Structure formats: structure tokens, C-alpha cells
């Protein structure tokens, strides 16, 4: 508690003592443009008595959306281009288009890995492109969202898939599901051929623990295109809204 | 040969945090937690992050997943670690590595929401310790004994630590 209060006292000090009396260049390279206020305040004991921040205020934070909110979720990942067009319908209203729904998608890279890190280790992460192949869009009046990405790779035990989480406009979960891909000669799965891995040991939809019960194939998207010009995926998902 | 060190500053943000930047991180990470935690608890059985983590260990991924809501605020810092100042009162530590954590949260009450952002500094030359102060220089400045080297002097405040050392 004492530490928190101490940190807060630093912040309060910075806010409440804006009297700029001098502009003193600092010797290091960082922040050469800052001016200086001179109000050393700080901790309550000699052992943690430090100079409070004494700089011109800034940078000025502005409200910013989550990094997921973008149409192109590629983030420099290499693979065959995939455009995913997902239409959300309302299963409580004859599957009519659901506008204003929030749609999250995420999938693995060409080698079968997701962007992620553990929370318990001390491992640090570069903050640039840390959430690759994860995206969020809001459906338009036709219930449509469009993402640009790469064709997903695969990993042991699972068929090629894209995760989807649909929320209503206020963030309440409406549906967690996955999109499956058509299989067989000439399909995108066959053309991409598992990238560098090949398809040896690949799990097909009928053996996939998520898709195997989908005997009518409603989870399987329509996928067209080729490895030269890229692929286009289309699917309609109906959720109870 | 001087030691190269990196520092870690763990910035804890809770309901008492007051700056605009801290409030944005606080509210947006809570909203994102409410959204993404539903994936791990599709029957809405749990309210707190601790309960969720205890019953659904894969919810540990929420540290990473919720970080998407604050990454644009991290970018707005322009690679300067907040709060930590040298003895001139200037922010002097640069970062490009970070890690976000959810410490506690409760879907029913935003006041229980507590998060932390760990900022990992760029590498510094550790030159000396003078009293309570560390004396460092930028590590990209060549370690030539005959050259004048610009330095930073600073005290180790709470939540600031030496993260790594390279001899």
C-alpha cells in the first residue's frame, strides 16, 4: 500500500506542479524536446526519495481501439492470400442479416502456430505485430464482415480451421464456433498442400473432433481461388441474437 | 568490460489510477476482459479472473488476449517507459518489449480490476553505483575508454528492477 501511495504521490506531484521556470537540455538522447519544471518531490523516506517527473506534459493519450480492429490481419505473415467473407444471420429472426455484431476471428500461421504468449513467465514480447492473424470487425447492414489474411496452416490433430467468436454490439457472446474447409481434389486444402509440411498425418474433417459431427457440412465454407491469385472464403453463420 | 543490463518496470494500474492514459488502459482492458473471458466460460459460471483461472487453466491465455486492447496505448508512449525518471526528473528509459498481465478482475465490479504492464528497457551499460544511485550509459555508445560518455543517474524506485545482466 505504501508503495502504491508513493507512486500516486509521484503522479499527483507531476500534475499539480506545472510551474515551468526553465528549459534545461538533458544530456542523453531521449526526449530532447522536453522542457523542465523544478519541483523535486517524492518518497517519504530517504531510501526512496527520488526526483518526481519534471517535464513538459505529454504525450497526450487518445482513445484507441483494440489492435484486433482491422480488416487486414496478416501482420507480415507469409502464405497464400485468403479473403474471408463471413455473413452473420440472426437465427431468432429467420436468419436475416445481423447488423452491428462484433466478429472476432483467429487462426494459425502457415506452420500451424498461433500468436500468443504465456502470462506467468517473465518472458517479454515486442509490441509490434504481437497479435498476428487475429482480427475484429463489426457487421454491416448486410451482416457481412471481410478479413484479409493468409490461408491457415495446420497442426497435429486438427483439420484446417478458423475460429470465430460473435458478440452483440455490447460485447455479449452470441456464438463461439469454427469454420471448416472443403476437402478433396482441386480444393484449397489440396492446392495449398499444407505448405512446407505437406499433408502427411493431416486430420481430415471426418476425423476432426470438432467437425466430425457436422454430417450436413454447415460448418464448411465455400472456398474458391488458387495459389497464384489467392483464395476467397464465404460462409453464413447464424447466431441467436 | 562493463556489464550490460536491462531494467523491468512493472506498472500496476487499478481503480485508483488517475492519469488519462491509465484510465484508458483500465477501462478498455476491463471491457476486453469481459468480452474474451466468455470464450473460456461459455456457461457464465465464474465472475472473477482468479475463479476462472482456477477452473479453466487455459484462461491463462487471457493475459495475452486482453493485451490487444491496450497495445495501441503502449504504442502511444513512443517507446518511453513511463514514471521512471533519472535524477534530473527526466524520463530516460526506452523500451520495445512489454508484457501485459491481468492481476485481478471481477465481471460484476470494475473496481476490482487490476492489471500490470511490464516494460523492458533497452540495454544499458552499468557503470557504477554511487550511494543509492545507479550510473548507466546508453549501450549503443561504444565502450571506448578514451571517449567521453554521457550518463544517466537514477534511483531504483518501487516496481523497478534489473531484469537481465550480461557480463
Task: For residue range B52-105, list pLDDT tens digits in order.
Answer: 999 999 999 999 999 999 999 999 999 999 999 999 999 999 998 999 999 999
Average pLDDT along chain B: 94
Question: Does the distance separating the beta carbons of A126 and B97 come in below 8 Å?
Answer: yes
User: What pLDDT shows up at residue A125?
Assistant: 74
Residue A15 above 70 pLDDT?
no
What number is the average pLDDT over the span A54-67? 88
pLDDT digits (tens, 9 = 90+) for B1-27: 579 999 999 999 999 999 999 999 999
pLDDT digits (tens, 9 = 90+) for A159-176: 999 999 999 999 999 999
Please give the C-alpha separations between residue A97 and each of A29, A233, B71, in angstroms, as whole numbers. 55, 18, 32
Cβ contact A201:A234 at 8 Å: no
Per-position b or e across B6-23, b if 16+ CB within 10 A of its CB:
bbbbebbbbeebebebbe
Please give the C-alpha separations between residue B83 and each of A141, B19, B89, in angstroms, as whole numbers. 45, 11, 10
Measured CA angle at B166 (ends B125, A121), to 5 deg? 115
Instruction: Report B:46-75 residues touching A (Cβ under 8 A).
Output: 60-65, 67-69, 71-75
User: What pLDDT shows up at residue A49?
Assistant: 74
- On whether any CB of chain B is under 8 Å from the CB of A127, the answer is yes
Please give the C-alpha separations between residue A54 and each of A24, A57, A171, B9, B87, in angstroms, as whole numbers. 11, 9, 40, 19, 10
| Chain B residues within an 8 Å CB radius of A22 | none
Record the cell numbers describing residue A108, joined without a space: 494459425
Report the gap between the CA of B54 and the closest CA in chain A (Å): 14
| Chain A residues within an 8 Å CB radius of B80 | 30-31
Question: Does the distance separating the beta carbons of A126 and B12 come in below 8 Å?
Answer: no
Task: Break chain A into its structural domains and give their ranges.
Answer: 29-239
Cβ contact A239:A89 at 8 Å: yes
Record the cell numbers describing residue A84, joined without a space: 474471408
State the distance between the two ends of chain A, measured CA to CA, in whole angstroms: 45
Cβ contact A8:B18 at 8 Å: yes
Least trusted range by pLDDT, from A97-111, A214-228, B64-78, B135-149? B135-149
User: What pLDDT shows up at residue A121?
Assistant: 53
Question: Does the distance separating the beta carbons of A53 and B83 come in below 8 Å?
Answer: yes
What number is the average pLDDT over the span A93-114? 96
The domain defined by A29-239 folds into: Protocatechuate 3,4-Dioxygenase, subunit A (2.60.130)
Instruction: Report B:12-51 residues touching A (Cβ under 8 A).
Output: 12, 14, 16, 18-21, 24, 28, 31-32, 34-35, 38-39, 42
User: What pLDDT shows up at residue A145?
Assistant: 98
Record the cell numbers describing residue B136, joined without a space: 548507466
User: What pLDDT shows up at residue B144?
Assistant: 64
Question: Does the distance separating the beta carbons of B73 and A61 come in below 8 Å?
Answer: yes
Q: Which residue of A has its CA nearest to B152?
A: A28
Among B54, B7, B1, CA closest to B152: B7
- On whether any CB of chain B is under 8 Å from the CB of A170, the answer is no
Distance (Å, whole) CA A25 – CA B87: 14
| pTM across the whole model | 0.84
Residue A136 above 80 pLDDT?
yes
User: What pLDDT shows up at residue A169?
Assistant: 96
Amino acid at each position: 500500500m505504501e508503495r502504491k501511495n508513493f507512486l500516486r504521490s509521484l503522479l499527483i506531484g507531476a500534475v499539480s506542479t506545472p510551474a515551468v521556470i526553465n528549459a534545461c537540455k538533458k544530456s542523453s538522447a531521449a526526449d530532447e524536446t522536453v522542457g523542465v519544471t523544478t519541483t523535486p518531490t517524492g518518497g517519504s523516506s530517504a531510501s526512496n526519495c527520488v526526483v518526481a517527473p519534471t517535464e513538459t506534459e505529454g504525450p497526450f493519450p487518445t482513445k484507441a481501439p483494440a489492435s484486433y480492429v482491422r480488416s487486414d490481419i496478416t501482420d507480415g505473415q507469409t502464405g497464400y492470400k485468403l479473403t474471408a467473407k463471413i455473413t452473420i444471420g440472426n437465427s431468432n429472426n429467420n436468419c436475416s442479416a445481423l447488423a452491428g455484431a462484433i466478429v472476432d476471428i483467429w487462426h494459425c500461421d502457415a506452420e500451424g502456430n498461433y500468436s500468443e504468449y504465456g502470462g506467468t513467465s517473465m518472458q517479454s514480447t515486442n509490441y509490434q505485430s504481437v497479435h498476428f492473424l487475429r482480427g475484429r470487425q463489426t457487421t454491416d447492414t448486410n451482416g457481412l464482415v471481410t478479413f484479409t489474411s493468409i490461408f491457415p496452416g495446420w497442426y497435429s490433430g486438427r483439420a484446417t480451421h478458423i475460429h470465430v467468436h460473435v458478440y452483440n454490439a455490447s460485447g455479449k457472446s452470441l456464438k463461439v464456433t469454427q469454420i471448416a474447409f472443403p476437402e478433396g481434389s482441386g480444393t484449397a486444402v489440396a492446392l495449398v498442400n499444407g505448405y512446407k509440411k505437406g499433408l502427411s498425418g493431416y486430420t481430415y474433417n471426418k476425423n476432426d473432433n470438432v467437425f466430425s459431427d457436422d454430417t450436413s457440412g454447415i460448418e464448411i465454407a465455400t472456398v474458391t481461388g488458387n495459389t497464384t491469385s489467392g483464395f476467397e472464403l464465404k460462409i453464413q453463420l447464424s447466431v441467436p441474437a | 568490460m562493463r556489464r550490460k543490463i536491462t531494467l523491468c518496470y512493472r506498472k500496476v494500474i487499478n481503480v485508483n489510477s488517475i492519469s488519462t492514459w491509465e484510465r484508458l488502459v483500465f477501462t478498455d482492458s476491463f471491457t476486453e476482459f469481459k468480452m474474451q473471458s466468455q470464450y473460456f466460460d461459455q456457461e457464465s459460471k465464474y465472475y472473477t479472473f482468479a475463479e476462472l483461472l482456477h477452473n479453466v487453466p487455459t484462461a491463462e491465455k487471457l493475459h495475452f488476449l486482453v493485451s490487444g486492447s491496450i497495445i495501441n496505448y503502449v504504442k502511444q508512449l513512443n517507446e518511453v517507459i513511463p514514471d521512471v525518471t533519472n535524477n534530473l526528473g527526466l524520463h530516460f528509459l526506452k523500451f520495445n518489449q512489454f508484457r501485459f498481465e491481468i492481476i485481478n478482475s471481477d465481471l460484476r465490479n470494475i473496481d476490482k480490476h487490476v492489471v500490470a504492464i511490464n516494460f523492458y528497457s533497452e540495454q544499458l551499460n552499468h557503470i557504477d553505483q554511487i550511494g543509492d544511485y545507479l550510473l548507466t550509459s546508453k549501450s549503443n555508445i561504444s565502450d571506448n575508454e578514451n571517449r567521453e560518455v554521457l550518463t544517466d543517474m537514477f534511483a531504483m524506485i518501487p516496481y523497478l528492477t534489473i531484469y537481465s545482466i550480461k557480463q
